[in-house]
Amino acid sequence: MIVLSVNAGSSSLKFQAFDMPEENVLISGTFERIGMKESFYTIKLNGEKIKKEVELKNHEKAFEILIEELLENKIVEKLDEIKAIGHRIVQGGPYFDKTAEMTDENMKKVKELSSLAPLHNPAAITGIKAAKNVVPNALQTGVFDTAFHQTIEDENYLYPVPFEWCEKYKVRKYGFHGTSHKYVAYRMNEILGRYNTKLITCHIGNGASIAAIKEGQCINTSMGLTPNAGLMMGSRCGDIDATVVTYMMQQLECTAEEMDTILNKQSGLLGISGVSSDSRDIEDGMKIGNPRCTLAQQMFTRRIIDHIAKYFVELGGCDAIVFTAGIGENSVHTRREVLDGLAALGIKIDEEANDCRGVERLITTEDSSIPCYIIPTNEELMIARDTYLLYQSKEKEKELVENEII
């Protein structure tokens, strides 16, 4: 059965088509510069990558082309073969603790949450509407970045601010990257061969977050109301003293919006190094002796170490630590610094094993107190899995209704 995974951004749309339940990727691609000049898309099929320049007026046009490509490349012969489409949605707020069908009522809730994710939720709604128009008979699901973190208890998700802020304005920790944390935690448990585990999963990419997971359920995570909380990131500051914001707004005489841009786009590795938000550039800067790059990297790893140590205590021990995403999977240097910084916990890096990129691997020695792994993330597959499961349960429900069992 064909399931599409879709990730719509404000001017982009990424997709992968899976044959489920075998989980084979049949075709994947990205539409870029939607609604802008010089729009184009790339398709990956049978190990080949093709780029086509075409006018993409809106997301619906991108979706129409996506479907044409599926038909032309004989991924499907008829549209009816696409049974379900899973959409990544960044902010599910307090409403969604699991993947849900995108009914009109649920779409309204996603729209209502747009003020908490102004760049992401409106784009997802546009993507879902486009998919509904082009493939009306498919089940459309929303897979939320925040859903996995809904098991966090109130003492961890509330901020120590006036209580009504949460009740009236929905101000609380939601956490993000949930689909990725869930995927690598599931895979880690498969490797360990048991599910009653305590795991710390580190999704370290341009955006970065850490989660503490007990028996498959998230008990804490580093991101908050928005993805600019917790760790220092490529260009985001993460946790800082809240008064820095109001003080600097007065000093710079800037608006809330301008301050938001500074804290999201001009801070983190970029803000400290003055060079780049990309960890590869920071590593290159360190190699040529740039002290600000060295400082940025030290601050970056310091915060990862602190969060892992905090979650070790909160979990009451830990069965495995996982590194994933761009930096977690690829930066030998960052992993080494983090694991060296955790030596007090008895963690011992295996330098030879750590010298790798993008592969699933144990990177600590046999006598390390906690085994640490690299597990490449696969959010698209997780979206397809969840969507397939929801499709199956809906079909089962229909069958029971038809047979008048319920």
Which of 111, 357, 396, 398 is the binder for ligand AMP (CB under 6 A)?
357
# of chain residues touching ligand AMP (CB under 6 A)? 13
Asked if 168 and 305 touch (Cβ cutoff 8 Å), the reply is no
Residue at shortest CB range from ligand AMP: 326
Query: Is residue 280 a contact point for ligand AMP (CB under 6 A)?
Result: yes
Stretch that binds ligand AMP, among 64-72, 215-223, 273-281, 395-403 (CB under 6 A): 273-281
Which of 9, 142, 178, 205 is the binder for ligand AMP (CB under 6 A)?
205
CA distances from residue 162 to 174, 230, 244, 274 in whole angstroms, order as listed: 17, 21, 19, 37
Stretch that binds ligand AMP, among 90-98, 128-136, 182-190, 275-283 (CB under 6 A): 275-283
Supply the minimum distance, in Å, between the C-beta of residue 331 and ligand AMP.
4
Query: Is residue 194 a contact point for ligand AMP (CB under 6 A)?
Result: no
If the CB atoms of residues 277 and 387 are measured against ligand AMP, the closer one turns out to be 277
Positions 97 through 136 that interact with ligand AMP (CB under 6 A): none
Supply the minimum distance, in Å, between the C-beta of residue 320 and ligand AMP.
20
Query: Is residue 284 a contact point for ligand AMP (CB under 6 A)?
Result: no
**What's the rounded Cα separation, in Å, for the pair 29 and 202?**
27
Which of 179, 220, 330, 368 is the binder for ligand AMP (CB under 6 A)?
330
Query: Is residue 326 a contact point for ligand AMP (CB under 6 A)?
Result: yes
Give catalytic residue positions.
145
Give 321's strand partners: 200, 372
Distance of CA 322 to the CA centre of its chain: 15
Supply the minimum distance, in Å, between the C-beta of residue 22 and ligand AMP.
26
**What's the rounded Cα separation, in Å, for the pair 201 and 221?**
9
**What's the rounded Cα separation, in Å, for the pair 367 and 257?**
50
- For residue 351, which of 327, 325, 372, 370 has the smallest C-alpha distance? 372
Burial zone of 191 (CB within 10 Å; 0-12 exposed, 13-18 middle, 19+ buried)? middle
Helix (H/G/I), strand (E/B), else coil: 253? coil
Query: Is residue 327 a contact point for ligand AMP (CB under 6 A)?
Result: yes
Supply the minimum distance, in Å, between the C-beta of residue 47 and ligand AMP.
21
Query: Is residue 206 a contact point for ligand AMP (CB under 6 A)?
Result: yes
Cβ burial 287-320 (10 Å sphere, 16+ → b, else e): eeebeebeebbebbbebbbebbeebbeebeebbb
Helix (H) or strand (E) holding 219: strand 217-221
Dihedral angle, C-alpha 202, 18, 191, 149, nearest 10 °: 40
Asked if 265 and 234 touch (Cβ cutoff 8 Å), the reply is no
Name the packing angle between helices 279-287 and 291-315 (round to 10°).
130
Query: Is residue 315 a contact point for ligand AMP (CB under 6 A)?
Result: no
Query: Is residue 278 a contact point for ligand AMP (CB under 6 A)?
Result: yes
Supply the minimum distance, in Å, between the C-beta of residue 340 and ligand AMP.
17
Query: Is residue 201 a contact point for ligand AMP (CB under 6 A)?
Result: no
Query: Is residue 279 a contact point for ligand AMP (CB under 6 A)?
Result: yes
Query: Is residue 287 a contact point for ligand AMP (CB under 6 A)?
Result: no
Stretch that binds ligand AMP, among 24-32, 88-96, 149-157, 277-285 (CB under 6 A): 277-285
Positions 229 through 258 that interact with ligand AMP (CB under 6 A): 234
Residues that bind ligand AMP (CB under 6 A): 205-207, 234, 278-280, 325-327, 330-331, 357
